[in-house]
Structure 1
């Protein structure tokens, strides 16, 4: 029987999200594919620096130390590189002692079509086109933003922070806010306080994380989650009721009511923060590994 990826937290990450390959990407953009391939092959033994997603991946993989016979987390490299240029990346993985055994090298072809066969719960990439395709396929996906703070904190507890509307929850309420204003938004939330919000693109990811958390006592959980949202009272009540309806756990929740998010995200110590708004991510990405959640192409938010 084949290796079963079901019931695991499966993270697919591009090589440029895991490692700092911005200089190499610049060669590709300015000189073309052949020069990029040549550079990677000539520098095959040169170790690549850590990228934005490195800390998250390393901390997630530590969870498997508690389950040596039944890994809870699977990390898969999904890259547009070809098999020849993959050697530099896999050698760097070995040098960093990351337990990443599976990979897919598409030679420039679309990655999104391979995500479901690998049972991917979360896809992280620096390539916006790949992220958009993954989102359109219904996969939780986000575009990793540049993060140059080298003071990565590796620990036995992974900390993941989420925005609410259009990330954990559907975009319905955010559309009302953007098209009709704050008063209409508050009236809508008051009228629907007992109605659970629909799933957003990261709802299923939160459920998978909750399944792992349930295997531990709360104070011993290896993953700690936080909701960091611009909502405040009274719009917070529907959020709390929705999470209860979903039967999922969020360890911390912050209803900021317009207060800047970046200081709260930093204080939480997030290994990654997911948001859909550039206005927040521009600040958080300077302090914390951050990633932008895109809207599906047919989303009304893309037309606002």
Structure 2
């Protein structure tokens, strides 16, 4: 799944930036197997369904505006396109999806890398709520990897001191800050029109940071960006499973495989963000394990 970059201030023209910097919708590109798998709704279908629901709500409030989300199907199998379209028609959402022949998007991974778009890997399973609920990790997801790198190099105590001294210095943007920004902009628009109604978009921060010595900088950073989430969980290194179980998000973004697995064990779609020192550490450990297994498999025992 890929997303384009979002803008700062909300207005009635859309929520994202187009390729030339013009304000417009945010495009969510999803591969065909995540949308329709073996003629059944795929793992990402509830997430896409919730996005369509947000579009419908937004259109009722702003009938003259573009939809906040454009959803594009990524496929190179043109022969299967009509087959997929027919299944989406049965599910009632074909009209909300852009197909490769409708756009210039061919689902090419190289174009994603060339344009430096935010992308994630989504394993099963999923939730089926209508309200769009999205949960984010902090470091290496919403924020850059600088604090994590300092902790890895200099240790936890140095990290604490660094975060305390720099609590008034905003963290740098991470790869999915743009997506959070688009969601929060929509929340603001909904509340501006109907302040007493429940918003169909909710956002959550689920971070291993401590609320005392490292949470302050996070909150001040979000405030400096003008972003207010529905709820924030500072877990001080404890498991992320309990809050995820309570939130039941459509999707949870994290850079560490162990946290992704926690979500998956609870039936939460948990997407691995391939960015930062945590992801690289997990990747190196996996490669080392694979190499060790190869060596064992190639060994010869002589009795």
Whole-angstrom distance in 2 between the partners of 1:163 and 1:9 = 21
User: Are 1:269 and 2:269 counterparts?
Assistant: no
Q: Which moved more, 1:51-60 or 1:212-221?
A: 212-221
Contact 2:256/2:278 (<8 A) preserved: no
For structure 2, the residue ranges without an aligned partner over 5 or more in a row are 1-16, 285-303
- Residue 28 of structure 2 corresponds to 11
Structure-2 change in CA distance of 1:264 and 1:256 (3 Å): same
> Quick check: 2:29–2:71 contact (8 Å CA) kept in 1?
yes
Cα distance in 2, alignment partners of residues 153 and 301 from structure 1: 28
| Residue 260 (structure 2) pairs with residue 281 (structure 1) | yes
- Contact 1:83-1:107 within 8 A present in 2 as well: no
Question: Following the alignment from structure 2 to structure 1, what is the Cα–Cα distance between the partners of residues 109 and 248?
Answer: 31
Structure 2 SS opposite 1:12? strand
SS of 1:144's equivalent in the other structure is coil
RMSD: 2.6
The aligned counterpart of 2:204 is: 226
The TM-score, its normalising length taken from structure 1, stands at: 0.74
| Cα distance in 2 between the residues matched to 1:283 and 1:20 | 24
Q: Which of structures 1 and 2 has the bigger CA Rg?
A: 2
Q: Is the CA contact 1:60–1:158 (under 8 Å) kept in the aligned structure 2?
A: yes
- Offset at residue 107 of structure 1 (A): 11
Cα distance in 1 for partners of 2:180, 2:106 equals 31
1:57-206 matches, cutoff 5 A: 57-66=48-57, 67=59, 69=63, 70=65, 71-79=67-75, 81-98=76-93, 99-104=95-100, 110-113=108-111, 133=113, 137-147=115-125, 152-155=127-130, 157-206=131-180
Per the normalisation by structure 2, the TM-score is 0.75
CA distance 1:61–1:234, change in 2 (3 Å): same
Tell me what 1:126 maps to. Answer: none
User: Structure 1 residues 188-197 or 12-21, which shifts more?
Assistant: 12-21
4+ long deviations beyond 6 Å: 105-109
- Matched residue SS, 2:185: helix
Is the aligned partner of 1:294 residue 2:274? yes
Report how many residues are paired.
249
- The aligned residue for residue 293 of structure 2 is none
Contact conserved, 1:82 with 1:108, CA < 8 A, in 2? Answer: no
CA positional deviation for 1:109: 7.2
Tell me how far apart the structure 2 counterparts of residues 195 and 269 of structure 1 sit (CA, whole Å): 32
CA distance in 2, matches of 1:197, 1:258: 20
The alignment partner of 1:215 has SS state of: helix
Q: Is 1:55 the counterpart of 2:46 in the alignment?
A: yes
For the residues of structure 2 that align with 1:196 and 1:178, how far apart are their CA atoms? Answer: 20
Contact 2:81 2:99 (C-alpha < 8 Å) held by counterparts: no
1:197–1:242 contact (8 Å) kept in structure 2: yes
> 1:78–1:111: 8 Å Cα contact kept in structure 2?
no
Residues 9, 209 of structure 1: 8 Å contact kept: no
Structure 1 residues 108 and 292: alpha-carbon distance in aligned structure 2, compared to 1, 3 A threshold: same
